[in-house]
Structure 1
Amino acid sequence: MAFLCPLYVRAADTLLLKSPHQQLLAKLFTRNGYLLYQVQHVAQLLIAPSQLGIQVNGRTAGTQVRQLTISHRPFVHANSLAYTITVQEKEGAYTLECRMFDNGAAFRYVIGGPEDKQVTQELTSFTLPPAAGVWYFERNSSWKLQSYAGLWQRTTVEQLPTVSSQGPVQGKPLVIELPHKQYAVLTEAALYNYSGMRLKATGNNTLQVNFTEGDKGFAVKGKLVTPWRVILYANNLNGLVNNQVIAALNPQPDPVLFADKTYIKPGRSVWSWITRNTHYMEPAEELRFIHAAAALSFEYTLIDEGWETKWPHKWQQLKSLCDSAAQTGVGVWVWKHSKEIRDSVQRNVFLDSVAMAGAVGIKTDFMNSEAMDLINFEEGLLQAAAARRLMVNFHGCQAPTGESHTYPNEMTREGIRGMELNIMKEPIPAWHNAALPFTRFVCGNGDYTPGFFSNRGNTTLTHQLALCYLFNSSFQCIAESPLTLLEDSTYAPILPFLKTLPVTWDETIVLPGSDIGVMAAFARRKGKDWYVAVINGTDTVQRFTLQPRFLQDAGIYKSTLVKDSPDGKAFVTERTNLRKQDRQQFMIPATGGLVIHIPMPVQTSKLIHEKAIIH
């Protein structure tokens, strides 16, 4: 390990690291030569004393520490205080970089030197408070940690070593329920040139960083910079959902690679794969979907698996469809198995062909691992796609760690148990949906493919509609066939909602009544319009009380609400007047939903218009 020359020296065997407003406090200290840390929010312990360290090239850092030194004066960076700490050990020194936010703490190891680094283990651990609740995802097969497509459920920290039939290793994130409805999240940020972090429950309320590669480890060329190990904190569900620490820990986009971002356009997509019939992937059928997308005012269509094998002249046919789609204002995405483009030469030839055909994005699938070589594949694809002005959607992959901040052409990724499971005879339960906004979606966009009205499992029609407003995805792929939406009168009441459905939001507020796995209730603003979306995750009727204090104006808001009919077989739309001071109660049926569109009051809109004329 390379020795460092500190520029600013503050040496001690215990260091206290504070967030900008001293909401979070981390202590870094040594005990019998071992490097330890703990994190707390005011009086609430988030991480009890836990070990730090990493095994590189056969040497285990973190076990023979002689001195800790703050080698650079702490400085403010993206709403955090950044600390650079030199860890002096018997055989050398390395750096521990720490970032303290008021709602999160993060650290990473930096080991310099030109030689290759073989990482075989991290000693990094997280010891949780006793009796803490833990939300984790479960799937009773090896797919659990390959595709992250598990059902979100709750256990206690004491049960984590044995709760899963698949063993003690869990995927990220883990959402921790603390006393008094406070929350913590264990995850990572800025996963580049490294293996994805998994978490192994080792007993005594402790989880240790674990890698797909196991004992053989993985090699990093030259300087080693690990991803950030992240502990998020929130004193309520609203703080949990609005935590921006993960994005802040990722590098800014390359100003050369992303000098032009005009091709990066969030939007909604139609999709023929999940509702496929005997005409699936026939060019004429895909053209029907393109015209249906235009009729719905959707921005995209996704041509999924099969186009390369079913079309004898695939590139000519793709270009023809792209040309036809462009005339209607619809962009075309295409699917590709990742194994066919893992070689960079093959990848670049394929992407060149996609771009020349006129497509706008690529969905790649079946990485099925977060081993380092697959992580490098993902980053390489994002770079190569950006060079060709293409957007990307990853499937069969791990949860995000903020990649879309550095590579804004990543529009979404799977790493989630979504609606495609409904056609695999593993229907999604309502409680899983009611947990997702507070668990997986805390990490970033998820390609869940909501709105599967005709194959909705044990959820209602309005529950499915509400998911389109609750679940974040800059490429929001709607599961239901657009032909069904346009031709079946059942869906006529919600067509105005689908035609104006936002996919990015200016403001999100988690409403009272929300409870992980029980109820998710959001108020979300896009421009001047507000939307309320609520889903019931239980098998019994739930009472929801709406107090629209988020409204800025004291006027009357002429709103439209969508709810389920008593028999659950139809949408019911109603006009209602809402005021900021109102308190309205709604009975959300078992596994049901509610959606309300609240436009700006007429008088307020008129006033803004008059002011604009005056100015």
Structure 2
Amino acid sequence: MWQGLMAQTNAPITITQNKVQLTFTIDPAGQPIYTVDFNGKAFITPSRQGFVLATDSLFYKGFALINTEKKSVDETWKPVWGEVSTIRNSYQQLTVHLKQQTSGHLLDIVFRVFDDGVGFRYEFPYQPDLKYFTVTDEHTAFNLAGDATAWWIPGDYDSNEYPYTTSKLSQVNNSSLVQSATDIAVRTAPDPFAVQTPLMLKTEDQLYVNIHEAALRNYPAMQLHVDGNTHQLSARLVPDAVGNKAYLHAPCTTPWRTIIVSDKAADLLASKMILNLNDPPKTTDFSWIQPMKFVGIWWEMQTGKSTWNYADADNRGKDDGLVPNGRHGANTANVKKYIDFAAANGFKGVLVEGWNTGWEDWFGNWKEEVFDFVTPYPDFNVKEIEQYAAAKGVQMIMHNETSGSATNYERQLDTAFRFMRAYDYPAVKTGYVGRIIPRGEHHDGQWMVNHYERVAQKGLQYHIMIDAHEPPRPTGLQRTFPNWMASEAGRGNEYNAFSNGTAPDHETILPFTRLMGGPMDYTPGIFKLKGYAPHVPDRQMHSTLAKQLALYVTIYSPLQMVADLPENYEAHKDAFQFIRDVPVDWDDTRILAAEPGDYITIARKEKGKPNWYIGAITDELPRKAAIPLHFLDKGKKYRATIYADADNADWKQNPEVYHITTTVVDATTILNLQLAAGGGAAIAILPI
């Protein structure tokens, strides 16, 4: 219920839920200030709020508090798909109504305090003197009480695909990493002290803190500038082509700024705060949305076995007069082999990249009209493939690479989505590799944030599921748009194909960073871990085979790729069984053990069934994992099939060796497993 309070003074206002306490006040200069405590101790010390507007450069001070309102909410809701079947949304809300004394302009700040953190956003109410306005800066700060350890990537306007650095905040400097990251297609990181969110921190008081945002809509992505001397983090918004940050029309709101906190790392990963801060969908019929595993003509292109392009010569994207290069992967006969493989193993989807004309002319030219999204190459028979897939009980997944030309894609969206419906493509993987058009815009700026949402909305109209690559990192919008099922927005497995990849600790960091906002299309399941790129014979995955299995549990996505070549699974059919069995939609998730950069163990219960699956992974160090099974139904017996690293397994020296054992377990069982360096374990637990 609401409780309205007339403000008489600038005395601090406090709201609390469980161990989390939010305090708001206005300092002598009239600047909004907030503080966050956990268990009685401030970990976010007094931090400023406000804006710089094009018409009001001081819209961060001179405020008076004119009114406050409080509200309590405790409800539950059911996601269309996800890691759990039911989500509790319980919080205390404080709304402060502010008025700038010189201009008379109004600003509201809404705080929500949850058991596991705080979210707040700015609301610009309707007011006669502030209708259309431009944000040139946001003055939100997150002042830390000390020099925390951070897991970070550079604050880049166009890419989230960097490897993670672990350092103290005082040591953050992204210059050398940005300069050396030549494997990233487009890099724009002008601030050497900026980091991307979600930012994972561990304080000197052993608190785990994650700073991010929720419900990023009609606003640029927020990055954080790090002051290493004061441990102050300041919001930095991605600019547009002329240097402005956002164009708004009151009444309007900003995204939520989120601070998740716990004294247990595992509890941080279980948080649903970001999802709870997003709006529910406007429609209710999502029966057409189907989480699935899929295979694809992708890894063979990444490793050089075949090509996206039909011809080698530059033909300006036209298919007339092409001379086939003989290595084009998306040909009808090859696609049928992948359809056969999917059908034989119970996978619902087949993704085909490089099927449409334009790939000879697509990258690096900053060209607007490269693809039309409906014209196949001469060796790709759309109708024949549709009929063949339907006969096998398999659905095709579309691929729309835009080469960064969002303007061209928007002009073609209806045509492209009608084409998908005509040929029974229920999902599309979109791509934005390259510099953005409109020229001067960035992947993470307001214009592109709105573009990605327009694509998701168009998907709702045509009943198309979306897997977006090269977008901003997710902020929980999968609640509002359940068809926006996955995104890349991070450094995926593909970097092990065309570059030197990522260190073994990468997958133990991702759940604490990139995955805090939503599912990731990471493309796990690589079984040939050495020698997969003949042109670079020394290149290898930084993982054991057992860890590749575990990633299907630890890195969540409702659209999950079975990424390797079909023939590479032949030598390991017994291990491949786990990939065949593991679901992609869940009723329950338990974080059994976690420490960022070191290890993660997660158990998940299959949607609508009593089966549990566990994934355990480690970093570059071998590690013993003690896995309690207390989540199993008491009094029942289960058969556990354990896919574990062999005794002599090692990600670098001997990555493909493993052993499979079965044992009877119950709720009192503790499984003790040895994880190899860069290794892991996967477990399937089914009732007897």
TM, length-normalised to structure 2: 0.80
* 2:536 paired with 1:471: no
Contact 2:67/2:97, CA 8 A, preserved across alignment: yes
Matches within 5 A, 1:32-431: 32-60=29-57, 62-76=59-73, 78-90=89-101, 91-92=103-104, 93-113=106-126, 115-138=131-154, 144-160=156-172, 165-166=177-178, 167-179=192-204, 181-203=206-228, 204-213=230-239, 215-255=243-283, 259-276=284-301, 277=305, 278-309=327-358, 312=376, 317-338=381-402, 339-340=404-405, 342-343=407-408, 344-366=410-432, 369-431=443-505
Query: In 2, Cα distance between the equivalents of 1:220 and 1:315?
Result: 48
Q: Which has the higher helix share?
A: 1
The runs of 5 or more residues in structure 1 that have no matched partner are: 1-5, 603-615
Query: In 2, Cα distance between the equivalents of 1:471 and 1:532?
Result: 12
Cross-structure match for 2:308: none
**1:26-66 residue CA offsets vs partner (Å, 9 max, x unmatched):** 33332322221111112232211111011223214554334
Instruction: Supply the AA of the counterpart residue of 2:112.
Output: R
Instruction: Supply the AA of the counterpart residue of 1:318.
Output: V
Contact 2:587/2:605, CA 8 A, preserved across alignment: yes
Q: Secondary structure at the match of 2:546?
A: helix
Query: In 1, Cα distance between the equivalents of 2:397 and 2:526?
Result: 20
Q: Secondary structure at the match of 2:340?
A: helix
Instruction: Supply the AA of the counterpart residue of 1:220.
Output: L
* 2:582 paired with 1:498: no
Query: In 1, Cα distance between the equivalents of 2:587 and 2:165?
Result: 30
Query: In 2, Cα distance between the equivalents of 1:216 and 1:558?
Result: 59
Query: In 2, Cα distance between the equivalents of 1:52 and 1:134?
Result: 23
Contact 1:522/1:534, CA 8 A, preserved across alignment: yes
**More deviation, 523-532/75-84:** 75-84
Instruction: Supply the AA of the counterpart residue of 2:386.
Output: C
**1:574-593 residue CA offsets vs partner (Å, 9 max, x unmatched):** 11222332334222111111
Instruction: Supply the AA of the counterpart residue of 1:559.
Output: A
**More deviation, 381-390/491-500:** 491-500
Contact 2:215/2:277, CA 8 A, preserved across alignment: yes
Q: Secondary structure at the match of 1:147?
A: coil
Query: In 2, Cα distance between the equivalents of 1:319 and 1:202?
Result: 58
Query: In 2, Cα distance between the equivalents of 1:249 and 1:314?
Result: 48
Q: Secondary structure at the match of 1:363?
A: strand
Cross-structure match for 2:595: 515
- CA gap 1:369/1:568 in 2 versus in 1, 3 angstroms: closer
Query: In 2, Cα distance between the equivalents of 1:232 and 1:472?
Result: 19
Please state how far the C-alpha of 1:318 moved relative to its aligned partner. Answer: 2.6
Instruction: Supply the AA of the counterpart residue of 2:625.
Output: F
Please state how far the C-alpha of 1:179 moved relative to its aligned partner. Answer: 4.4
> Aligned residues: percent identity?
24
Q: Secondary structure at the match of 2:6?
A: coil
Cross-structure match for 2:624: 543
* 2:522 paired with 1:448: yes
Instruction: Supply the AA of the counterpart residue of 1:251.
Output: D
Query: In 2, Cα distance between the equivalents of 1:375 and 1:314?
Result: 35
Contact 2:214/2:258, CA 8 A, preserved across alignment: yes
Query: In 2, Cα distance between the equivalents of 1:530 and 1:383?
Result: 34
- CA gap 1:154/1:341 in 2 versus in 1, 3 angstroms: closer
- CA gap 1:537/1:7 in 2 versus in 1, 3 angstroms: closer
**More deviation, 371-380/352-361:** 352-361
Contact 2:20/2:117, CA 8 A, preserved across alignment: no
Q: Secondary structure at the match of 2:489?
A: coil
Cross-structure match for 1:599: 686
**More deviation, 175-184/399-408:** 175-184
Query: In 2, Cα distance between the equivalents of 1:100 and 1:497?
Result: 40
- Across the two proteins, how many residue pairs are aligned to each other? 584
Matches within 5 A, 1:524-539: 524-526=604-606, 527-538=609-620
Instruction: Supply the AA of the counterpart residue of 1:400.
Output: P
**1:98-117 residue CA offsets vs partner (Å, 9 max, x unmatched):** 21112121111112347322
* 2:6 paired with 1:9: yes
Q: Secondary structure at the match of 1:12?
A: coil
Contact 2:331/2:380, CA 8 A, preserved across alignment: no
**More deviation, 401-410/589-598:** 589-598
Query: In 1, Cα distance between the equivalents of 2:522 and 2:663?
Result: 31
Query: In 2, Cα distance between the equivalents of 1:88 and 1:110?
Result: 12
Cross-structure match for 1:609: none
**1:316-375 residue CA offsets vs partner (Å, 9 max, x unmatched):** 933432332222222211111234553533222222222222211111111661101100
Query: In 2, Cα distance between the equivalents of 1:59 and 1:361?
Result: 45
Please state how far the C-alpha of 1:191 moved relative to its aligned partner. Answer: 0.5
Contact 1:108/1:227, CA 8 A, preserved across alignment: yes
Over the aligned positions, Cα root-mean-square deviation in angstroms equals 2.4
Q: Secondary structure at the match of 2:505?
A: helix
Cross-structure match for 1:437: 511
Instruction: Supply the AA of the counterpart residue of 1:342.
Output: T
Q: Secondary structure at the match of 2:595?
A: coil
Instruction: Supply the AA of the counterpart residue of 1:156.
Output: K
Please state how far the C-alpha of 1:196 moved relative to its aligned partner. Answer: 0.9
Contact 2:197/2:222, CA 8 A, preserved across alignment: yes
Cross-structure match for 1:607: none
**1:430-478 residue CA offsets vs partner (Å, 9 max, x unmatched):** 1111222222212210111111221451311111111111111111112
Cross-structure match for 2:634: 553
Query: In 1, Cα distance between the equivalents of 2:681 and 2:338?
Result: 28
The runs of 5 or more residues in structure 2 that have no matched partner are: 75-88, 179-191, 306-326, 360-374, 437-441, 530-539, 649-653
Instruction: Supply the AA of the counterpart residue of 2:257.
Output: R
- CA gap 1:328/1:478 in 2 versus in 1, 3 angstroms: same
